[in-house]
Every structure is written in C-alpha cells, then in structure tokens.
Structure 1
Amino acid sequence: MTDKKPFAAMPRLFLHFYLFISLVLVGIGWTVERLWQQVHAEQVPAWVLVLAGQISQQLKHQQLAANSHDLVLPVTALPEGSILWSDAELQQLQQGAVIPLFTKDQAFFYAMQQQQLWQLGPLDLTEDSQVPGYWFSLLFLGLLAVAVWLWLWPVARDLQRLKQQLQQGQSPVEAFPVRSFIAPIAHSFQQMRQQIERLLGLQREMTQAVSHELRTPLARLSFALELSSLPETDKELMLKDVKELELLVDEMLDYARLESAQPALDWQQVDLTELLHNLCEKLSPLPGAAIETRLPPVALWWCDAHYLERAVQNLVVNAKRYAKSRVLLSLQLTATDCLLQVDDDGPGIPPAQRAEILKPFVRLDPSRQKGFGGFGLGLAIVCRVLEWHQADLEVQTNSWGGARFVLRFHRSGKPGAL
C-alpha cells in the first residue's frame, strides 16, 4: 500500500505558512495601530507645549485686546460656556495657563483674559503629522519582513541540507527531525531513491546474468565450429560472428560494472603528457589512421589515471576507426581548465545527433554503421568516467570536416592542476 503521509507535506507546509502570515498580519497591524493611536492621543509635540508657555508668559505681562496684532496667532473671543472644560482645565485657565487642544491637522490655544475665553489659532499641524505616519509604515513593513524571515529561514536551511544530502548520496531522512516541515519530503525522496536503486540493481543483475549465461553456449558454439566440416569460408564467417558476440558480452559486462556505482577513484598527480604518449604507443598497432599528437612538455593534473586513460582510449579508437587519414590528439592547459581534444577527418557527426551518440547502444547510420565495428557503448563509458571527474564532453566539427571530441576538466573541486 502506498504511504500517503509524505505527500501531505506540501498542503501542510502551505497551510502553516498561510496561517502564519494571517496571524502575523493581524497581530502586527493591531499592534502598530495601537501605537499610532497612543502616540497621537497622548503625546503632545514638545514645541506645542513650549509655544503654549510662551503665549501664557506674554499674556501675563501684557493686557491685550482681542483684536491685538502683537500675538503671532489670530485671536478670537468666544462666548462663555462655548467649550465644556473639566474642573482641572477650568482651574488652570483661571490661573492664567494656556491649554492646547488638537484636531487632526490643527492646534488651538485657549486662555482666560479679562473674564473672557480667548481662542488663539488655528495652527496648522499637517506637515508635522506626516512624519509619524511614514515611520509607522516602515515599522509595520519591517516587523512583517522579520517575521517572514524567521519562518522561511528554517525551511530554506532544511532545503539546502536536503540538497547536500542528496548530492553526497547520503540518506536524507536521518538529517531532519520529525518536527521539520522538510521531513516528509525527505522521506519521499528516500523512498524514490530506494526504488530507483532497486530497479537499477535488478537491471544490473539481469545484464550480468544474461552476459555470463551467454559465455557458455558461445564457447560451445565456437568449439563446435572449429571441429565442424563446413567450408572454410562459411566457418570463418560464423566464427567471426561468434567472436563479435563474445566482444559484445565483454563490453556489456564492463558497462554494467561502471554503471553499478562510482568506484573509489585513485586520485593522484598525473603527467597527462606522459600518459597520452604511452596510450598512443599502445594503440598505434591497431588498424586505421596514424595518431598525431600536439602535447605540452609537461601537464600535471589530479585525476584517476586508469579511468582517464580508458576514456581517452575509447575516443582515439573511435577516431582511428572512422578517420580517412588523420587522427590528432591534443592537450592544452589554461588558467581555468584542461582541454583534451581528439580530432579525425572522417564523416563527422551531424549536430542533431550529437546528444544521441552519447547514449548506450546508439550508432549513427550510415557513417556509424555496423561495418565500422563497435556496439555503441564506448562513448557512454566515456561520459561515465567524465562524470566521476566532474568534467564535460563536447562534440564539435573541426576544420577538416570531421568529428572533434573535447574533454574539459575544471580546476574547481577535486580535479585540478598543481
């Protein structure tokens, strides 16, 4: 039965984030609004109090008429009882104090003069009231940003950890506590990984079993042909077919072994110039075009010499097989990478088919037909070796019109020149 619990991770994550954002918006909005109300209801600007004190002092030392122009603010005489004052405010007025009152955008000052209530103002407060609103908006946005960051940071951290666990081939489930939102997702990845490994294992076992089982009948068939009384021409053709089947079995076993898992590479400092010279000497007796080289005197690089030689050997053998008269093996070290190129003057590879030839058991027609030999596994093995070395393979067309295979090794990571 399928475990549906991991698949509830995304709805759970969405619901938690939705509720979190809703509560944060309500909470922060209510808090900022309360602060706004308190600031505007209870706090009187300091300069307004200073101005009220100055007006009070001026009125104490001078007896001014209501239409006097000695005051900065306009003065209006109000009828008695036009404003309902509290007992404390009325006592302050009788003692000669000036009381400021506010509307949304204006301030008024009230004082008792000659047993009459004076209103001084209005005084415009529009410009002064804009600054608090601006800062309260910034406060709201800042608190919202901090709250969202506090929620997203653990999720982003766990996602990064999940990525690292998957890249390193480790079990992602063990890296997360049960309370983590990423734990169900990691569990799903773990299940998918186990299923893929199980399918790959079955495929490898089947390939190896079939390959091994083919060896015995092929050996019997080859022995029977040797002892048969068939015409020599027919016998030779049949033995050639049997030999080709044996080579195919060997190639399939090699590819299955390389596909099974990344081996423990023997990283060491290798002189690529010496390695390539030795390889050319080993492959020179093979039929096909002669191998030309363009190599620096010394080229030191960190790599696994055995597997790197295997990859270059596959490329050179292919080039000798399809070349008309020239095969060139060149090497160049730059400030950022190492370029190893194999060129031939054969029919070349069309751009539309360059990605296909890197797949197992793929051969091009008519230029890469069976008459040229091979089983379509050589380039797949090259790709696997380059993947272990964190390198790239590019298929191009050279100036001769033939194929050019470029192996690009980067200085970042484990591989690199000294």
Structure 2
Amino acid sequence: MFISLVLIGVGWTVERIWQETQSQVPPWVLLVADNLAGQLRTQSLPQAKLSSALEATLLPASSILWSEAELAALKAGQVVPLFTTDQVFFYAMQQGELWQLGPADLTESTVPSYWFSLLFLGLLAVAVWLWLWPVARDIQMLRQQLSNPNGVAAVPVRSFIAPIALSFEQMRQQIQRLLGLQREMTQAVSHELRTPLARLSFALELSALPTDEKQLMLNDVKELEQLVDEMLDYARLESTQPQLKLQQVDLSELLQNLVEKLSPLPGAAIELQAGPCCVYVCDGHYLERAVQNLLVNAKRFARDKVRLKLDSTQNAVEITVEDDGPGIALEQRAEILKPFVRLDPSRQKGFGGFGLGLAIVCRVLEWHQASIEVGESSLGGASFRIKLPLA
C-alpha cells in the first residue's frame, strides 16, 4: 500500500510540474508582445516598420473566436499571442481591423523532458529509502543484540520486524533453557556415574577374582570413567563459547613444548618442522588442546612416524599433522569431524577414543575463526591441516 501510494503521489506531482512547465508562456514572447504594442501606438499597419520584422496579414474580424479577456486586451491596444505546436502568432486590432503578425518560431523548452524522468526516479528513491531505512536500522540492531550472548532481541513496538524480533527472543530463551538443561543433565549424570564407578573399581580391587579377569574388568571401568570425562568436556565446550584469553603466542615454542609433552606416550615418534619464531594472537590453552588431540590420534594410528609442520603464508598460519598410518577414505573425511564418529567398524579397544577428539578440535577452531582440512599425507597416511587466519 505504501509503495502504491508513493507511486501515485510522485507520478501526479511530476506530471503537474511538467504540465505547469509546458503551459508557461516563454518570457521572450511577452516581451515581444509588449514591444509590438508600444510600436503600434505610433504606427499604423500595414505601413508600420516593426523592429521585429514580422509579416503582417489582415484577417476578418470574426475569423477567431476570442475570449472576453483576450477581446478586451485587443480593444485596449494590446498584442495577444496565440500558439501552435512550434510557432507563435501575434494579433493586434487597429480601427476595427484584425491584424496577424508572424509567425515566430518557438525555441525548445529550457527544461529537457528527461529531467522529469530523473525527478520521478529521484523522488521514488527517496520515498523507498525513507521506508527501508527504519527496517535496515532495526535489522542491524537485532543483529547486534543476537551477537551478544546476554543481549535481548528487542526492537520498537511499531517496527516492521517487531514480530520477527519477538520470535527470535522466544527462540533465544528456549535455546538458553535447553542449554541449561543440558548442563544440568551432564553434571547430574557425571555425579551419578562417578560414584558407582568408584565403588565398582574399589570392589574389584578387593575381590578374589583371577588376576587376568580382574584386570579386564578394571580396564572396562577405567574406559567408562574416561568416557564420562570426555563427554563432560565436550558438553562444556559445545554449550557456549568461553571468554578466550587472546594474547601473542609463539606457536613454534608451543608446538615444541607439546612434542616434548607427548613424547613419553606410546606410539610413533613426532617429528617437528617449524621455524625459530612464529607469533600469533590466539588463546594458547585451547589451541594447544586442539593440536594435542590431532597428535594423539596420529600417534595412535601411525606406524612409525608422525610429522608436525608449522608454515606461514600471506593470509594464514598453517599447522599440519601427518602420519604414515592407514589414512582416511575420501568419502569419510567429512564424517570424521562429527562427534561420536569412529571409522574402525570393529570398535576395537586397541584404537581407543570415543569419537569426540576431532569434534573438540573443530569447536576450538570455530572460536578462532579458523578451519581444518582433512587430506592425504605425503607419508602415506592422513593429513590434518589447520588454517589460522591472519586478519
């Protein structure tokens, strides 16, 4: 309705302006008419020598139907102009005789027609902007509010997007309730599971079962405890984004310390290829956690060698973890990054893990606006490449 009314109003306004412009008598016509009237007061047609050099023609007095105002002007000695499409004629009356002077060519309008089209489009653009600007302002306000975890999605009541903002606010509150329930559930589950697992472990230590059988049962209990810890860790990282402690971190030093930390663990040796210094602004704790998960997986599946590389390009800092293990099939590279996904169909205990390590890596990289690519290693196994943007 607004756009329709604007189109009607702007179109009518521009048309009226155009009509007024076209109906106006050019100023020079009035000047010529006044000049002719002054000359004819002292001269008689057809012998008059007019400075305008217009041809004089005698017409029958009744050849033109004059209005009362025009007829009164003629009788008063004035010169009356009449227009055709591109010419103007001047009429004067002397001693009851009607004289036609001219014609004189009309010059083109001083206002080209395309200016009226530009005026129409300009007024329409202003009207649409006045309509859309509050909507764009409210959308920007809503975007800023939604980007703030503690913000409230609220816009003026008369806003065009007020119903949308209300729906967003209801959805945000529902998501917060669900996240709160998730945190409460994970805490409750952890508390309820840790206690019976501790009792079970203690009872197994005191039981008189054979040593081999007891050790297998203790390993199962330990695996359950690790599963609970990793689920709680993933739920904590997934529920919300923490306040990152961004600071300048020497990635070369961070990776060197990480290699020394993981060297005592069983598995293939880690070869580090990094320059002397590479400073990057990030949260060193979480970034170290992400690279550590990749290295632990690589040591677990590699045969003899794991390679950790640090490269710096024009737009990003790249951290690559490669191994000489069995690798990852092309159709499985996207699935492996999802939580609780393990590629070994047998789920053998020798492989370890619960399918949450890479999901935690993706979460940490998302906080740093980074990305990870899964590919084929030059060593023959899998390759995981982290790209940390420099912007």
* TM exceeding 0.5: yes
User: Using a 3 Å threshold, how does the CA distance of structure 1 residues 55 and 273 change in structure 2: closer, same or farther?
Assistant: same
Could you tell me how far apart the structure 1 residues matched to 2:26 and 2:348 are?
A: 92
Aligned ranges 1:8-407 → 2 under 5 Å = 19-41=1-23, 43-52=24-33, 63-64=45-46, 77-86=58-67, 88-94=69-75, 97-103=78-84, 106-112=87-93, 115-120=96-101, 128-129=108-109, 131-174=111-154, 176-366=155-345, 371-407=350-386
User: Using a 3 Å threshold, how does the CA distance of structure 1 residues 37 and 226 change in structure 2: closer, same or farther?
Assistant: same
Alpha-carbon offset, residue 161 of structure 1:
1.6
Could you tell me how far apart the structure 1 residues matched to 2:329 and 2:86 are?
A: 78
Aligned partners of 1:74 and 1:121 also within 8 Å = yes
Alpha-carbon offset, residue 53 of structure 1:
5.5
Alpha-carbon offset, residue 316 of structure 1:
0.6
Aligned partners of 2:46 and 2:56 also within 8 Å = no
Could you tell me how far apart the structure 1 residues matched to 2:294 and 2:346 are?
A: 16
User: Using a 3 Å threshold, how does the CA distance of structure 1 residues 74 and 366 change in structure 2: closer, same or farther?
Assistant: farther
Q: Which moves more between the two structures, 349-358 or 56-65?
A: 56-65
Could you tell me how far apart the structure 2 residues matched to 1:270 and 1:328 are?
A: 21
**SS of equivalent residue, structure 2 residue 373:** strand
Aligned partners of 2:6 and 2:124 also within 8 Å = yes
Q: Unpaired segments of 5 or more residues in structure 1? A: 1-18, 413-418
User: Using a 3 Å threshold, how does the CA distance of structure 1 residues 367 and 45 change in structure 2: closer, same or farther?
Assistant: farther
Alpha-carbon offset, residue 253 of structure 1:
1.5
CA RMSD after TM alignment: 3.0
Structure with greater helix percent: 1
Could you tell me how far apart the structure 2 residues matched to 1:341 and 1:389 are?
A: 17
Please tell me the residue identity of whatever aligns with 1:22.
S
User: Using a 3 Å threshold, how does the CA distance of structure 1 residues 402 and 130 change in structure 2: closer, same or farther?
Assistant: farther
Alpha-carbon offset, residue 58 of structure 1:
7.8
> How big is each residue's C-alpha offset from its partner over 1:30-85, in whole Å with a ceiling of 9 and x where there is no partner?
222332333333x21124335546666787768548xx9x9877765432122233
Seq. identity, % = 69
Alpha-carbon offset, residue 202 of structure 1:
1.6
Please tell me the residue identity of whatever aligns with 2:119.
L
User: Using a 3 Å threshold, how does the CA distance of structure 1 residues 99 and 370 change in structure 2: closer, same or farther?
Assistant: farther
Aligned partners of 1:173 and 1:183 also within 8 Å = no
Please tell me the residue identity of whatever aligns with 2:162.
A
**SS of equivalent residue, structure 2 residue 108:** helix
User: Using a 3 Å threshold, how does the CA distance of structure 1 residues 45 and 366 change in structure 2: closer, same or farther?
Assistant: same
Alpha-carbon offset, residue 317 of structure 1:
0.5
Could you tell me how far apart the structure 2 residues matched to 1:375 and 1:136 are?
A: 72
Could you tell me how far apart the structure 1 residues matched to 2:375 and 2:237 are?
A: 26
Give the TM-score of the pair, scaled to structure 2.
Answer: 0.88
> How big is each residue's C-alpha offset from its partner over 1:249-294, in whole Å with a ceiling of 9 and x where there is no partner?
1111111222232222222222111111111001011121111111
Aligned partners of 2:89 and 2:103 also within 8 Å = yes
Q: Unpaired segments of 5 or more residues in structure 2? A: none
Aligned partners of 2:58 and 2:100 also within 8 Å = yes
Could you tell me how far apart the structure 2 residues matched to 1:369 and 1:96 are?
A: 119
Aligned partners of 1:106 and 1:123 also within 8 Å = yes
Aligned partners of 1:171 and 1:190 also within 8 Å = no
User: Using a 3 Å threshold, how does the CA distance of structure 1 residues 116 and 187 change in structure 2: closer, same or farther?
Assistant: same
Aligned partners of 2:316 and 2:387 also within 8 Å = yes
